[in-house]
Structure 1
Amino acid sequence: MQKNNVLYEEMRPDEFLERLNHCPIAYLPLGTLEWHGLHLPLGSDSLQSKGFFKALAERIGGIVLPTLFLGPDTKISQEEFDYIGMDVHSFERENLQQLDGSAYYIEDELFINILEATLKNLSRAGFKIVVAHGHGPSTNIFRKFIPKFEKQFDLKLFELWQLGGKGNEGIMTDHAAFNETSLMLGLYPELVDLEELSDETMVGIWGDDPRATSKEEGKRIIESNLSLVGSKLQDELSKLSWPKRTMNYTNVVKLYNP
């Protein structure tokens, strides 16, 4: 098994079956394209969730899905214009403004339908555990529907707030503040620019001061969560059994010209 080939979209069928048979866990990053302060990239949710899941899959096994970057959020409509997420939380209610770069919003119902279709397909493909995590509102809706989806698709479902650390010791527990900035520094330090921040430019940041963290702090938080989450998932996996899948196709129609 090739340790570093953990991305679903990059695998050949034989690689997929080898990883699935070894560890039938799917990791679903829930991202956005959303303002994360002046110091972080717009895809910070996607980058953090997928980066952590890649490290986790390399450590314990499993397969990382492509990021779902569309998601729900708070929405307020004023004068035929929609303000979403941090647009709403960052400004006085009577003076809402659009934060540049945010492009991810879908209604709750559509997001739930996408999750339902995704989990149905993952169950069909042979996965037994699915871990989804990322953008806060997306993760919250996923968590809300865990009991329903587990019965519906015969899967064990988790999100990282259940499995990992709490507060600033967890994975993605604020918005562009100490925790998320720590994670970005630990995973992608070349994409972070703390020099963009001053007391006057702390727009769209929700949580403890991001200027107080470092690359080393980010790596420490990531390692702590890899250990916590990895141990709990391996314990859950030990309670399950699954048939090993093989490629054995018969009665194949020739769709090519020999």
Structure 2
Amino acid sequence: MRYEMMLPRQIRTAIAANTPVVLPLGVLEYHGEHLGVGMDTLAVTRALDLLEKEAELVILPPFYYGAASYAVEPPEGTGSVQVDSTALHPFARELFTGLLRVGFRNIHAFIHHQTENFATGMPTDLAFKFGARQAIFAFLEKTRGEGWWGDAKMADYYAQQAGGGDPFNWIKIHPLMTRETIGQYPFDHAGEGETSLMLAMCPEAVDMSLISEERWYTQSAREATAATGARGRDLILAHMRRVLGLPEAATG
């Protein structure tokens, strides 16, 4: 279900069912001459298009305006849009606060941009992680009062935490590709891996005739195939199903 299309009664039903609420999180960044600048976000949105056919999800409008940086190319004529993380963090905090006030307690964001460093964090995912934590702390203090954690009702907090049921699991930020996925699939910037993903998931954002040999990071893109991309797509979908608590894909 697309959030912007939902009726209030459908929102209430999703809240009661604890349906996963998913934010596609990304950037607009130069990916060579042969790929669309929205590649990092399109990988997330197209994966969600597929998951939406399998299970109940609430899919929020995608956020494309992350911290792309100009590390790859300057923006003039290339299309990269850089929004500093200092602006992203307050936005994330307010967005997550709003979603908590609506009533959602099973909120997830998926990001592909710069996630080879996800364990330590990069500007966009760190801004949204910090915003999520601040939103949860403020929401709990507002709704439960100061001293909420020390209250006798929280005596089972550590048991809840071990089982994933504590309030700090209300909002989770995930990489689109885990370390395990990266070990099985070429992870790159506009090379074979990302070009293959787009050939499989969003072919209208690819023009193979424009691949340039001038930039080192696009040289492997000529090896890209839709079949390779389908393998990456399946690894991504399996990971997303696991973290969202969805059934595994049917086989046979």
| TM-score w.r.t. length of structure 1 | 0.68
1:138 aligns with 2:153: no
- The percent identity for this pair of structures is 24
In 2, distance between residues paired with 1:143 and 1:166?
Answer: 22
The structure 2 residue matched to 1:21, chosen from 4, 16, 23, is 16
1:183 aligns with 2:197: yes
1:209 aligns with 2:204: no
In 2, distance between residues paired with 1:53 and 1:164?
Answer: 20
Question: How far did residue 60 of structure 1 move?
Answer: 3.4
2:71 counterpart letter in structure 1:
G
1:86 aligns with 2:72: yes
In 1, distance between residues paired with 2:213 and 2:225?
Answer: 18
Unaligned stretches of 5+ residues in structure 1: 1-5, 75-83, 88-96, 236-258
Q: How does 1:86-165 map to 2 (within 5 A)?
A: 86-87=72-73, 97-98=74-75, 100-134=77-111, 135-136=113-114, 137-143=123-129, 150-153=136-139, 154=167, 155-160=170-175, 165=180
Return closer, same or farther for 1:24/1:41 CA change in 2, 3 Å cut-off.
same
User: RMSD of the alignment, in Å?
Assistant: 3.0
Match of 1:218 in 2: 229
Instruction: Note if contact 1:38-1:197 (Cα within 8 Å) is conserved in structure 2.
Output: yes
In 1, distance between residues paired with 2:79 and 2:228?
Answer: 28
In 2, distance between residues paired with 1:19 and 1:163?
Answer: 28
1:112 counterpart letter in structure 2:
H
Match of 2:213 in 1: 199
1:16-67 CA distance string (max 9 Å, x none): 3344433432211122222111111122122112122232343332211112
1:55-110 CA distance string (max 9 Å, x none): 23433322111121222244xxxxxxxxx2322xxxxxxxxx54524252222211
In 1, distance between residues paired with 2:75 and 2:180?
Answer: 32
The structure 2 residue matched to 1:41, chosen from 36, 41, 61, is 36
Match of 2:157 in 1: none
1:231 counterpart SS class:
helix
Return closer, same or farther for 1:181/1:20 CA change in 2, 3 Å cut-off.
farther
Return closer, same or farther for 1:103/1:166 CA change in 2, 3 Å cut-off.
same
1:32 counterpart SS class:
coil
Question: How far did residue 186 of structure 1 move?
Answer: 1.7
1:183 counterpart SS class:
helix
Match of 1:70 in 2: 65
Equivalent residues, number: 208
Question: How far did residue 152 of structure 1 move?
Answer: 4.6
In 2, distance between residues paired with 1:117 and 1:174?
Answer: 32
Return closer, same or farther for 1:140/1:222 CA change in 2, 3 Å cut-off.
farther
Match of 2:161 in 1: none
| TM-score w.r.t. length of structure 2 | 0.69
In 2, distance between residues paired with 1:117 and 1:28?
Answer: 14
In 2, distance between residues paired with 1:17 and 1:199?
Answer: 53
Return closer, same or farther for 1:12/1:101 CA change in 2, 3 Å cut-off.
farther
1:139 counterpart SS class:
helix
Unaligned stretches of 5+ residues in structure 2: 115-122, 140-166, 247-252
Return closer, same or farther for 1:193/1:162 CA change in 2, 3 Å cut-off.
closer
Return closer, same or farther for 1:58/1:165 CA change in 2, 3 Å cut-off.
farther
Give the stretch that moved more between structures: 138-147 or 103-112: 138-147
